[in-house]
Amino acid sequence: MIRKLILFLLCAFEIVLILFMMAWPASSDESQLKYEIASPPNCKNNLGEKVLFKDVNNGRAKSAAGMAKRDDTGTPIVYRFAYQNSPKPLQQFIDFHECAHHQTGDVDLPHPPRNSPEHMMNESIADCIATLRIRDEINRGEDVVFLAVEQLVQVMITIGFPAMTTESRKANILTCLQKNETVDAFIDGVLKHRKLK
């Protein structure tokens, strides 16, 4: 029951984060730091298709957010919203998280109901894959994960998420960081469980 609640809160966070980042207008009185946009990682979905990354700057969001889907032509894509407003570690975490939705087949499966345990589990898995990829593919990856999780927690606090939600997401990411498993093995296990491999 507690696990379902935690998963529910994680899922609710991602949905609200995307909506919040797209809708929250930046104040003209406020000076906002601008960051260099990180190069996107290599990403292929579970079918071997290359995933494209597209930067979207609507000028309103105060922090980076991402969305994994297929575009109108069926191409797997990650939309990167307002990356210039967040530090590189958070940008990288979001890229790997959204890529994970493609790698695990989430994008091509029927979307579970919002805030359902299945949807929240998808988010938790994507966080774990992002963590493992950063750890194993980026120089000083563990340090990058620690920075990204702290930046993510700050965004969640700014948005107004309860401490329990932010702490449970942080705990999941830090637990994944300690896994004695490669990202490929982890993804393989997810795909086999879903009967996609």
pLDDT digit string (tens) for 154-170? 998 998 988 888 898 99
According to the model, what pLDDT value does residue 26 have? 42
- Asked whether residue 150 is domain-assigned, the answer is yes
Residue 24 is assigned to a structural domain of this protein: no
**Domain assignment of residue 81, yes or no:** no
The count of structural domains within the chain is: 1
Is residue 102 a part of any domain in this protein? yes
Whether 178 is covered by a domain: the verdict is yes
Instruction: Calculate the alpha carbon distances from 63 to 1, 26, 34, 182 in Å.
Output: 32, 10, 10, 30
The series of mean pLDDT values per 10 residues for the chain, 197 residues long, is: 53 50 43 85 97 88 91 97 94 98 96 84 96 96 96 92 88 96 97 93
Would residue 90 be called left, alpha or beta, if left means φ above 0 and alpha means ψ between -120 and 50 degrees?
alpha
Give the span between the Cα atoms of 91 and 96, in whole angstroms: 9
Per the domain annotation, does 146 fall within a domain?
A: yes
Q: Which domain holds residue 184?
A: 2-14+32-50+86-193
Residue 53's nearest CA partner among 18, 92, 90 is 92
Residue 188 lies in a domain: yes
Would 61 be classed as within a structural domain? no
pLDDT given for residue 164 in this prediction: 86
Euclidean distance between CA atoms 103 and 50, whole angstroms? 10
pLDDT of residue 128: 98
Q: Is 67 helix (H, G, I), strand (E, B) or coil?
A: strand
What are the beta bridge partners of residue 67? 79
